[in-house]
Structure 1
Amino acid sequence: MIIMGIDPGDTLIGFGVLSKNSAGLSLVDHGCLKTGPGNAPEKLASLETQLEAVLARHKPDIVGIEELFFFKNAKTVIRVAQARGAIMALCVRKNIRVLEFTPLQIKQAVTGYGRAEKKQVQRMLERIFQLKKPLKQDDAADALAAAWCAAQSYAMLDALR
């Protein structure tokens, strides 16, 4: 099973890909997509094109995505909401199950503490996946955390069936 996490943003979209098998979870890929220049429709089209290529390359069964949380800047929340909508619509068109999580749920799944700092989450991911180099891109790290949370949640849902 392939699980992808996505961290939506207005200019950078983080993604993280995990593989789940009988041996457990392993890190497959992670990185960031840049939405590029232009107005909102052009940026969303750029995002969709790039994300479609990542989805085609990895063929995820599940996508975990962070729910919107409070932003001080109304313009930012609107742009992030638009990106989330484009991401979720693309996943649905590709028949990929989408699971949404709050930042608290994601932090809880990774660190055991829902109010953990961003750096604590990154350090825990580095330990979980035994990374030799630190995660440098916050958006990619957030996406990996969303993927980890989706994997844990899906395992719970599967156990309940």
Structure 2
Amino acid sequence: MSRILGIDPGSRVTGFGIVESAGRGFRYVTSGVIRTASATFPERLRIIFEDLTALIHEHQPEALSVEQVHVRHNVSSALKLGQARGAAICAGAVLGLPVHEYTPAEAKQALVGQGSADKQQVQMMVRLLLELPTAPPEDAADALAMALCHLHQSPFSRRVAQATAKQWK
């Protein structure tokens, strides 16, 4: 069984979600958001780091799956997002967790079957896959999608690595 912490980084709201593989399915552990909006920017980064560190200690995930930064229009926002992402990655790395990175399109493709899926489709698939009574909030759903994406990709990645290793022997 694998337990993965998914992160949807943001400088004001960082989503998190923890999912376990359970046989051929998945099991929901927890999810939520870290809100930092009223703090100064350096304080926001500290809050993200400390809250995720506490979450990792409490739930003992085996790996961290984090959304890659994508620049749309505002470079300043992308830089702040990158710094929030860095605080999240450091929380996992300091505690020895392997960090895996996926684009939003990769997570959407893994869950919905198309990389251009909208937020509501992601929320609905997260709810269905984890058998939740209601769809989680957007940021938590995106974080759960990151964790599910990694659990979906891991078996495939292991098979590719094994096949490649055999080919080169």
Q: TM-score, normalised by structure 1?
A: 0.93
Counterparts of residues 1-161 of structure 1 (less than 5 Å):
1-22=2-23, 24-135=25-136, 137-160=137-160, 161=162
**2:131 alignment partner, SS class:** coil
- Matched to 2:144, the amino acid is L
Q: Which structure has the greater CA radius of gyration?
A: 2
Distance 1:23 1:156 in 2: 14
Q: Percent identity?
A: 32
> RMSD over aligned Cα, in angstroms?
1.4
Question: Which deviations, in whole Å up to 9, do the C-alpha atoms of 1:53-90 show, x marking residues without a partner?
Answer: 11111111111111111232222111110011111122
Distance 1:57 1:151 in 2: 20
How many pairs does the alignment contain?
160
Distance 1:88 1:64 in 2: 9
- Matched to 1:118, the amino acid is K
**1:26 alignment partner, SS class:** strand
**1:38 alignment partner, SS class:** coil
Distance 1:104 1:123 in 2: 16
Distance 2:156 2:89 in 1: 22
Structure 1 ranges of 4+ moved more than 6 A: none
**1:151 alignment partner, SS class:** helix
**2:29 alignment partner, SS class:** strand
Structure 1 alignment gaps of length 5 or more? none
Asked if the contact 1:6–1:14 (Cα under 8 Å) also holds between the matched residues in 2, the reply is yes
Question: Which deviations, in whole Å up to 9, do the C-alpha atoms of 1:99-144 show, x marking residues without a partner?
Answer: 1011110100000111111111111111111221222x21000001
